[in-house]
Structure 1
Amino acid sequence: MPDKPAYRYRFVPVEPRHLNMISEWLAEPHVATWWDGNPEEEMALIAHHMDSVSVEPFIIMLGDEAIGYLQTYDPHLEDDHPYQDQPTGTLGLDQFIGESYLIGQGHGPRLLDEFVSLLFEEGVPRVIVDPDPANTQAIRAYEKAGFVAFDTRTSIYGPALMMARDNPDLASEQSPEEGQETRLQ
């Protein structure tokens, strides 16, 4: 059996030179369907996030090719964020693969696993995602990357399936209730 191809993902901070590329990705049908909002407003938010304390935006690189966008956010640093019920130190994650020819090839689960592993190495206790429950492709990718559904909520963007992946190195520090929370369906 041939070896699986080796993929090298990198995550580079968004710079002003990336904004046109991100804008083009947001217009792609496979992104626009799920990345809610007015494109101009989204781009203004992403530009603002470059200097934000609560949100960190990244370009996803596959080798030397920019293939998508990813951002982390700390719900505890945003006033009235609906996910402040998560453990302190939790980061939320939003992402998309911008290049349509890369969809369905397993990049989503692999890059998510790699990025979340980097966050865990930095001591992040939990990472959450909140895909639309109708976005079955994203949900499958998150599941393959180790995320487990624990709640369904309504966000400002509509229905959200709450999924989490907990840092295995910190699992022994969780109370039993916290450990069970991620296993609820």
Structure 2
Amino acid sequence: MFATNPYEFRRATLDDLPLLKAWRSNPHVLEWWGSGEPYGEAELVDPRVARWIISINERPFAFLQDYTVHGWEDHHFVGLPKGSRGIDQYIGDSEMVGVGHGSTFIGMRMQALFNEGAPVIATDPHPDNERAIAVYKKLGFEPSGPPQETGWGLILPMLATR
């Protein structure tokens, strides 16, 4: 007998902005993502970035974005091989934090990106975000240099390869 996959990824839309705004106001998300507006129409249709709402058993609980690292001339991962992707995410629903969902849905998206041909997947957590760094290491990411200040804030560059 085969177990069914309870996770669903669907593209974020303008209809998701109230949900994203609510999630971004949660203290565990605010700590690492700040209090800015989640996205507007221009960001949601930007072809450089795929933004996803993740649900489990039809319950939305997380946000993930993956993007071309070559979409911005000044991006800190621009030197990676062609086709490399960056990822960022958070679990918005505080009841779902710390119970294994992050490593599962991030791993699923990583596998999809590798299957689509990405040679490297990059991520850039804040160096003090120990929970995120532990999850990334569990999924095969390794630090690729020391913490650095970027246009997106202080980051620890991390890479995973096929």
Tell me if TM exceeds 0.5.
yes
Q: Name which of 12, 25, 28 aligns with 2:26.
A: 28
- Aligned pair 1:159/2:157, yes or no? no
Q: Name which of 76, 80, 87 aligns with 2:74.
A: 80
Aligned residues: 159
The structure with the largest alpha-carbon Rg is 1
- Aligned pair 1:103/2:126, yes or no? no
Q: Structure 1 residue 64: deviation in Å?
A: 0.7
Asked if the contact 1:110–1:145 (Cα under 8 Å) also holds between the matched residues in 2, the reply is: no
Q: Name which of 36, 49, 61 aligns with 1:39.
A: 36
Tell me how far apart the structure 2 counterparts of residues 22 and 34 of structure 1 sit (CA, whole Å). 14
How do 1:1-185 and structure 2 match up within 5 A?
8-36=6-34, 38-40=35-37, 42-44=38-40, 47-152=41-146, 153-167=148-162
For residues 62-82 of structure 1, the C-alpha deviation after alignment (integer angstroms, 9 at most, x for no partner) is: 121111111111121223222
- Structure with the larger helix share: 1
Unaligned runs of 5+ in 1: 168-185
Asked if the contact 1:59–1:67 (Cα under 8 Å) also holds between the matched residues in 2, the reply is: yes
| Alpha-carbon RMSD | 1.6
One-letter amino acid of the structure 2 residue matched with residue 15 of structure 1: T
Tell me how far apart the structure 1 counterparts of residues 101 and 29 of structure 2 sit (CA, whole Å). 15
Tell me how far apart the structure 1 counterparts of residues 85 and 42 of structure 2 sit (CA, whole Å). 18
Unaligned runs of 5+ in 2: none
One-letter amino acid of the structure 2 residue matched with residue 19 of structure 1: L
For residues 76-125 of structure 1, the C-alpha deviation after alignment (integer angstroms, 9 at most, x for no partner) is: 12232222111111101010000001111011111111110011111111
**TM-score, normalising length from structure 2?**
0.91
Asked if the contact 2:63–2:89 (Cα under 8 Å) also holds between the matched residues in 1, the reply is: yes
